[in-house]
Structure 1
Amino acid sequence: MTGLEQIAPPFRDMAHSIVWATVATVSSDGRPRTRILHPIWEWDGTDLEGWIATVPTPVKRAHLAAHPQVSVSYWAPTQDTCSAECHAQWYVDDDTCRRVWDRFAGGPEPVGYDPFIIDPWKDGPTSDQFAVIRLQPYRLRVMPGAVMTRGEGAPLTWSSDVDL
């Protein structure tokens, strides 16, 4: 088992290089649903948190109301993979939405982008079509493709002792 301080930077770097993630939620009747989303991750040396800018659809809202956890999985053609199991929380307040909007707008390539390019968000971060989901990981896994393709190294894993 690896400490968070050892796995968070390689997780963030791999996730940001891959950019798009498969994110799974679960409905109140236990049915999973996946979608492709674009999280951005922040590591301050102690805590790792992710942010997803998204349209707050009724399905996403209902799923997170029933089960406020998500699974986030990344894959690259090099066979690099990383995943995060997270507590998820909606934010719709203007201050948080503006901060996350700015984080994406000012983010490094290739994870950063101009949110105005998304049609439902043409009215900016205070639009009712813009919301953010905060991700607080309780389990992380990073597996460089060389582990699978050449048997080099080993996957890194981390789990929190705290039940979020």
Structure 2
Amino acid sequence: MNFVSLEEILPEFESRVRRIVYSQMATMDAAGRPRIRVVHIVWDRITGYLSTAPGAPKLRHIARNPNVSLGYWDPAQTTVTVDCRAIEVTDAEEKTVAYRLFVSEPEPYGFDPAFWGGTPDDPAFALIRFEPWRIELAGYPTLWNWESKVWTAQPWNRRSAFLAS
């Protein structure tokens, strides 16, 4: 595992999430059981946005426990893992910024979120923001040669990594 700066990891992170597009998001339900679903997140550097419907189970899960894990995988055996805090966005200005981000990106990475609601201020449009504290890019060039780069929001040390796991 190679710990790197945000500037070093960001270009490859952006390239991979744009190429892979869909992520699996893990949350915890009310009983503390993990729940995974496929989601379509659009990133603005390391801030991610996910459109959804009000009252969706994922919103209830993050209201109870905002810590989520996102996983991207492609057939070339490259992965992206993003551990982050998920927050429901209620600010109208931020919803508008995210909505514009969704429609400004070319498909399939970008998309028209109108199926969640006609506009960012439509009550049928809900938004989640992701704020990562850890990003790992891994690849498997061979079965015996694991390569990974890790960025963390805090300086990493063995004790803090142990306490966080």
Aligned to 2:49: 51
Q: TM-score, normalised by structure 2?
A: 0.83
CA deviation profile, 1:72-117 (whole Å, cap 9, x unmatched):
100111111111000111113322222111101001343112222x
The letter of the residue matching 1:52 is L
Percent identity, aligned pairs only, is: 31
Aligned to 2:149: 156
Which consecutive unaligned segments of at least 5 residues does structure 2 have?
161-165
**1:56–1:12 CA distance, 2 compared to 1 (3 A):** farther
Q: Which has more strand, going by share of residues? A: 2
Aligned to 2:21: 19
SS in 2 for 1:30: coil
- Residues of 2 paired with 1:149 and 1:109: CA distance? 33
Aligned to 2:130: 135
Q: TM-score, normalised by structure 1?
A: 0.84
**1:20–1:58 CA distance, 2 compared to 1 (3 A):** closer
Which consecutive unaligned segments of at least 5 residues does structure 1 have?
none
Number of residue pairs aligned between Structure 1 and Structure 2: 154
2:73 to 72, 75, 87: 75
CA RMSD of aligned residues (A): 2.1
- Residues of 2 paired with 1:155 and 1:108: CA distance? 28
* Structure 1 residues 116-131: aligned runs within 5 Å: 116=114, 118=115, 120-121=116-117, 123-131=118-126
- Residues of 2 paired with 1:60 and 1:99: CA distance? 22
SS in 2 for 1:57: coil
Alpha-carbon offset, residue 13 of structure 1: 1.2
